[in-house]
Structure 1
Amino acid sequence: MPYSKFTLAELKQKFNINLTGSEGKFNNIPEVAPKELLQEILKENVSLAVAIGSEKARSELIVSPILVEVRKYLNKQISLFSGIDFNVDVELGLNGFCDFIISNSTQQFFIESPVIALVEAKNDNLKSGLAQCLAETIAA
């Protein structure tokens, strides 16, 4: 079953996980101001992505520039993969397509452990992507 087919209830039961809805987990992490170039890119791209209205447009025009900036900020000590199959365990249903994967590796030839982040670029409803992103995180 692809990641996108899971529900939160299925993930909770199948992988024996606890789901909590707490806020403020990352409040102690200092903010990083985006570089001027990224601000200019987003100023132009956000309205265009919203006008186009597709997940692909948001992925390419908003999410991708931000992740490239994160990679630059981390001195290219991470690898970034876009639009890639991440097939970990077909029997458990941990397989399918991921919008973005970040690995704690400097090489860009293939995904190497550990996978440290997965990003899904959903349209208007962030909650609709929670189960998919959680399934991808379990696979990582």
Structure 2
Amino acid sequence: PIKSFEFSFCLRQNENRYTPVITVVEAKNENIMSGLGQCAAEMIASRIFNEQEGTNLARIYGVVTSRNIWKFIKLEGNALYVDLEDYSIKEISKIIGILCSMIEQKA
């Protein structure tokens, strides 16, 4: 069983319970694709952690960002879905909307 793992950053649904919903990974040198593997691994670790804590979420989400560019990922069952679109920080309202949908498990 996984007892500890490191998140680059983690968002949870409930402030009273540690249930990882979204993992956020910083991409180095503006290379978003380079962060996808790390993000996917952290998403799987989040799902395992949640299951060990008795919380089964239908989806775990991931974000890879360079601060200027944002890429969104979804882990549902054994399938990993990568949004084909990259979002610019100039689209901040769209980015916040996607993050809110992820927290609500609606994305």
**TM-score, normalising length from structure 2?**
0.35
Larger radius of gyration between Structure 1 and Structure 2: 1
**TM-score, normalising length from structure 1?**
0.29
Relative contact order, higher structure (CA 8 A, sep 6+): 1
- Higher percent of residues as strand: 2
- Higher percent of residues as helix: 1
